[in-house]
Amino acid sequence: MKILFITQHYMPFVGGIEIYINKISNILRKKGHNIHVISSLSDKKKKFESIKGVKVHRLPSKKHFMHRFTSLDKLEETIKKINPDVIQFFAHGHLFFYSAAKLAKKLEIPYSVLSFGPIGVARTANAKSFFQDWLFDTFYTPFIYRNAKTVFYRIPDTKGWCIKKGAQKTVFLPSGIIKDFFGKVNSTQLKKKFKGKKVVLFVGRVCKDKGVDTLVEAFGEVNEKSPDSHLIIFGARDKDFTKTLKARISQLNLTKKVSFMGPVPFGKEKEIIKLMDVADIFVLPSKHEGFGQVLAQAMARSKPVVTTKVGAIPSWVSSKNGFLVKCGNISTLSKSITKLLKNKKLSKRIGTHNKKYAKKYLLESQIDVLLKNYKKR
């Protein structure tokens, strides 16, 4: 089957959804399917390339009041050239997807949508973005959902919302993690490096949206009560934000207590797994988030987690997995981290539960769900 994935961004841009699409693409390709991806074009990216057999088409887009907009003519030309059996949208909250939905209907190509629910659920909205989200979900989302063969919803509580917006068929499809996160790795060298330290780990884009600045402030309080604690910040870094962050770390006299690491080349997940094995706890203090699949990855490595009540996270993470705190609450964040660092029995009990719990989010088990709902025209 020739399957076309349409997404706002794709590799080498690294984020949760981009990694998810890449992993699904590779699994489907190995099963004999022909996979194409259409995404937006930005500087330093090729207009077309094949990444491990997955054919990637990048189209130029222009700034628009409603996020970004891609030329309909160029999009139609590319879709016709690919001539897919089915199309899968990853998210819906951009004119990019609305344009694709109109073309899919025109060309009579069945498409499905991966929904995160109302656009604003995954981010902290200011007045402008709140209005944009409301406008899109009111006037554009109904068309996209009404004409979709299937709407896969990632957040359990949003099934009713999807139906209200016009979805004819809904299927629950949570984020997935690859089975490598349950396998064995050799983390001996890293463990030697951080021997005797209680390691707090963050993995993700190092930017304001991920709440890394809040984490640094909270870690300052954690370190006062646990002087042997150490914070590892791992991921691709926003230069200006990181410069400011490092200056604040210096002001807090934490320079020797905080390590910046990564990113690693895409496909080198074992390096992340090694870091997770070294960590005592995992923290994701995001200000907005989709599913938060990195939390499931940490759980697969038997780690208790501390995260924020944003996006889809509260729909699948509870006190059984660690601590859920209010976004931006430095005091509660630091107390939660400190409690887990000091109470080894609690951390171990939660970690043991998390490893079992994470197995329900294996990516490989979701492929059959996708294929079952894809239909040739």
Please state the domain extents for the chain. 2-176+363-373, 179-361
Strands 48-51 and 54-59: antiparallel
- E strands along 73-196, which residues? 86-90, 111-115, 150-153, 170-172
CATH of domain 179-361: 3.40.50.2000
pLDDT of residue 168: 95
CA dist 114 and 87 (Å) reads: 11
Q: Find residue 278's DSSP bridge partners.
A: none
Positive/negative CA dihedral, 72, 73, 74, 77: positive
CA dist 31 and 367 (Å) reads: 10
Q: Of 21, 23, 74, nearest to 47 (Cα)?
A: 74
Q: Of 94, 157, 100, 179, nearest to 312 (Cα)?
A: 157
* DSSP, residue by residue, 302-332: T--EEEES-TTGGGT--TTTEEEE-TT-HHH
Question: Mapping DSSP to helix (H, G, I), strand (E, B) and coil, where does residue 177 land?
Answer: strand
Identical fold, 2-176+363-373 and 179-361: yes
Q: Which residues contact 365 (CB under 8 A, 6 or more apart)?
A: 176
pLDDT of residue 266: 63
CA dist 207 and 223 (Å) reads: 22
Query: In the structure encoding, which two tokens stand for residue 339, read together?
Result: 């409690």
Q: Of 208, 275, 262, nearest to 236 (Cα)?
A: 262
pLDDT of residue 330: 97
Q: Could you report the per-residue pLDDT of 24-77, keeping only the tens digit for each?
A: 999 999 999 999 999 887 655 788 999 889 999 998 876 654 555 556 788 899
pLDDT of residue 280: 98
Q: Which CATH class is domain 2-176+363-373?
A: alpha beta
pLDDT of residue 77: 93
CA dist 316 and 208 (Å) reads: 24
Q: Which residues of the chain have pLDDT under 50?
A: 65, 121-125
**Given the structure tokens 């984490």, which residue do they identify?**
215
CA dist 202 and 263 (Å) reads: 12
What are the φ and ψ backbone dihedral angles of 268, each rounded to 5 degrees? Answer: -100, 50
pLDDT of residue 8: 84
- The CA dihedral of 168, 157, 286, 257, to the nearest 10 degrees, is -130
Positive/negative CA dihedral, 132, 175, 38, 82: negative
Q: Which residues contact 254 (CB under 8 A, 6 or more apart)?
A: 216, 219, 220, 223, 231
pLDDT of residue 69: 52
What does the longest C-alpha to C-alpha distance in the chain come to?
63
